[in-house]
Amino acid sequence: MDSLPPTKPLPLSGVRVIEFSHMVMGPTCGLVLADLGAEVIKVEPPGKGDRTRYLTSSGTGFFAAFSRNKRSVQLDTESDADRDALLRLIDTADVLIENFRPGGLEARGLGYAALSARNPRLIYLSLKGFLSGPYENRTALDEVVQMMSGLATMTGPPGRPLRAGAPVNDMMGGMFGAIAVLAALRQREMTGRGEHLQSGLFENAAFLVSTHMLQGAITGSPPPSMAAGRRAWGVYDVFTAADGVQLFIGVVTERQWEIFTRALGDPALMDPAWATNNARSAARETLIPLVQSLVGKRPVAELEAMCEAAGLPFARINHPGDLYDDPHLKASGGLLPVTLPDGRPAAVPALPIQFGASRLGVRSDLPAPGQHTHEILSSLPGDTTPPAADDDGKDHLPTAVAQG
C-alpha cells in the first residue's frame, strides 16, 4: 500500500508545531501531528540534545519510535540571544506542546499567558501527570497512574499488581493531546484565538479502566483481574497446539460457538451444559481444559487455517520483534523505514490509520541534534541566527516531570 501521493496535501500541511518534550507522552503527540503533515520543530538543549536519545534498557527505542517527520533546533533558554530567537520562532507557530514540570516554562517566560500575549492564535498544549485538581503538582509516571487507577491490579495476577508491557498511558495521553489540538485548530477557525489545553496521564488511566468501574457498579462486586481467568466468554484464552506453539482463540457469540464446535467435530462439545455463552463462561474451569485437550491434538498451522476459514478470532502469541516479519504489516505499509543513529536501517510501525487506500508515511528521517537550527532560525524575521551554545552538561530546558 502506498503513502499519500505528493500531489495530495496532508491534512495538517501548513500547521507549524513547536515541541518542547522528551520521553514518550509529548513526543507521541508531536509524532501524530507530524505524520498528519504538520511541520513539527523539536526544541532540544545545546550539545547532545534531548537526553531521550541516549536512554538504555526499556527506553532504548523511545527516540527512534517517536521522532520521524520532525525537525530539530537547539536553543539554550538560559541565553538571552537564544531565548529571543525562540520567542520569534514561537511567534510563527500555530501550536506549542510541552510536557515539563508545572511552572517550569512559565519561569522562563514561556508559559501560555506570556506567549499568547505575543501570539493570540497560539494553541498551547501541556501534557501533564494530572489535570487541574489536588494532584496537579505531583510528579507522575506511567507506572504511578497505572497503580493509582487500578489498571495494574486488573493486569497482574490476584494480589500482584503489574504494569502493562508498553507505556500505554504515555502514548494514549499523547494521542488525546493530539485530539485536543485538532479540536482547538477547528475552534480557532471560528474564534480566531488559540487556547490552553491539557492532557493528563492519570485521567487517561482512569479512562482506560472505565469499563471495569462500571462492571463493579453494575454487579456490586470489584471486578477480578484479567489474569484471574474470568471472562465474559467461555472460550477466550491461550491454548497450546500439538507442536508447542501458543495460540489465542476467542469464541464470543453463539454463532461462533456453533462454527467452532463443528470445526473441531468432537461430541464432548455438544453437551447441553455448553449451550449458552453465559453457561460456558460460568464453567470455564471445566471447559478450558476440555478445549485444550482437543486443540492440543492439532498443529498450530492447522488451527490457524481452521479459525481463519471459520471467521473465528485467533492470534499466535508473538514477541514485538516478530512484527518485523509480519506479512500483513509488510504488505499494507504498516512498517515505516527509519535510520538508526548508528546508521543501520530499521522499521517502525506507522500510525494505525488509513486515508482512502493510502497510509501516512515518512517525509523525513530521524533528525540529528540541532540538524535544522540554522535553516529554521535564519528564515525568521529579525536578528540573524544566534551562535550554537556549547554543551556544559546542564539541562538548559526546565527540569522535566518524569511522566513520559
- DSSP-assigned states of every residue in 248-315: EEEE-SHHHHHHHHHHH--GGGG-GGGSSHHHHHHTHHHHHHHHHHHHTTS-HHHHHHHHHHHT--EE
Query: Are the CB atoms for 195 and 217 separated by under 8 Å?
Result: no
pLDDT digits (tens, 9 = 90+) for 353-401: 999 999 999 999 999 999 999 999 999 987 544 444 444 444 444 334 4
User: Which amino acid is residue 226, in one-letter code?
Assistant: M
CA angle 143, 323, 250 (to 5 degrees): 75
Instruction: With residue 191 as reference, give the H or E element that holds it.
Output: helix 168-191
pLDDT digits (tens, 9 = 90+) for 19-78: 999 999 999 999 999 999 999 999 999 999 999 999 999 999 999 999 999 999 999 988
Tell whether the model's pLDDT for residue 117 goes beyond 80.
yes
Mean pLDDT of all residues belonging to the chain? 90
CA atoms of 13 and 16, how far apart (whole Å): 9
Distance of CA 320 to the CA centre of its chain: 15
This prediction has a pTM of 0.89
State the cell numbers at 61.
527505542
CATH number of 16-209+326-377: 3.40.50.10540
pLDDT at 100 over 80: yes
CA distance 72 to 368: 7
Q: Where exactly are the structural domains of the chain?
A: 16-209+326-377, 246-316
- Which of 24, 21, 28, 366 shows the shortest CA–CA distance to 178? 28
CA atoms of 55 and 67, how far apart (whole Å): 14
Per the DSSP assignment, residues forming a β-bridge with 290 are none
Closest CA to 45 of 366, 372, 400, 369: 369
For 209-230, what is each residue's pLDDT tens digit? 999 999 999 999 999 888 876 6
Q: pLDDT of 131-151, one tens digit each?
A: 999 999 999 999 999 999 999
